[in-house]
Amino acid sequence: MPERTRIRRLPQRAAYDRATIDSILDEALVCHLGIVWDDAPLVVPTLQARVGDDLYVHGSAASRTLRALAGGIEICLTVTLVDGLVLARSAFHHSVNYRSAMLFGRAELLEAAEEKRRALEAFTEKLVPGRWPEVRPPSPKELKATAVLRLPIGEASAKVRSGPPLDDEEDYERDVWAGVIPLGVRRLWPEPDAELKSGVELPAYLRLDRHFEHTDSQSTG
């Protein structure tokens, strides 16, 4: 295992198996790309999507970050999911429950139009499964204006904290509430675009999405 992927602080929270790493990558929408550019650190947030053993990121072909990555410089990519606020009996032991993953490596710029289309399909389907067959695919001009990078999932590690607060033994007798406040990303009921063509209904794959939370203002238009 490369030393830079080894978890040194709280190593009991480390995970190096692909099942754990892949599950975190698949759930997270946003990643952060860290590079050194012109002798200065640069961290950029962007969407990511995993397909098998590769992670894809994309953006404008004019992006200086993507141009730098396409040049073969080293990259550090991270994702983090925050699952809860951990309230302890002491200020020192307050924490969060989280799942994070970190990848190192060099990214490859996709040149073939078909490869780029498949990667963009993966992005679209990750956001909303079932969406890609319904929408207009990217035009040749749009594909040319889009840079897609592939990062192999090789040097990677995960770190996970879960469970209740861990207080000092003497603090368990304190009359202070302690526990976990769960957190999570939620999808509210879809809001139709004001320019939506009359008669276009909410597609079935959205109506059946159990992740959506119904609100008083929910719409099916």
pLDDT tier for residue 15 given thresholds of 50, 70 and 90 = confident
DSSP 8-state class, residue 42? E
| pLDDT one-digit tens code per residue, 184-196 | 988 888 999 999 9
pLDDT tier for residue 91 given thresholds of 50, 70 and 90 = very high
- Cβ(138)–Cβ(132) below 8 Å: no
Report the distance separating Cα 157 and Cα 97, nearest Å. Answer: 17
Residue 208 has pLDDT above 70, yes or no: no
Name the pTM for this structure. Answer: 0.87
* H-state helical runs in 5-130: 18-27, 64-70, 113-127
- Cβ(48)–Cβ(57) below 8 Å: yes
Sketch the domain layout of the chain as residue ranges.
10-166, 186-221
pLDDT tier for residue 71 given thresholds of 50, 70 and 90 = confident
DSSP-based three-state secondary structure for 103: strand
What CATH number belongs to 10-166?
2.30.110.10
Report the distance separating Cα 209 and Cα 130, nearest Å. Answer: 11
| pLDDT one-digit tens code per residue, 105-134 | 999 989 899 999 999 999 999 999 999 999
pLDDT at 4: 81
Report the distance separating Cα 119 and Cα 51, nearest Å. Answer: 8
Q: 32 — phi, psi (to 5°)?
A: -120, 130
* Helix or strand holding residue 206 (H, E): helix 204-207
Determine the straight-line distance between the first and last CA of the chain, rounded to whole angstroms.
Answer: 53
Residue owning tokens 């003497």: 170
In the numeric block, which tokens belong to residue 153? Answer: 């999932």
- Cβ(86)–Cβ(115) below 8 Å: no
- Cβ(126)–Cβ(209) below 8 Å: no
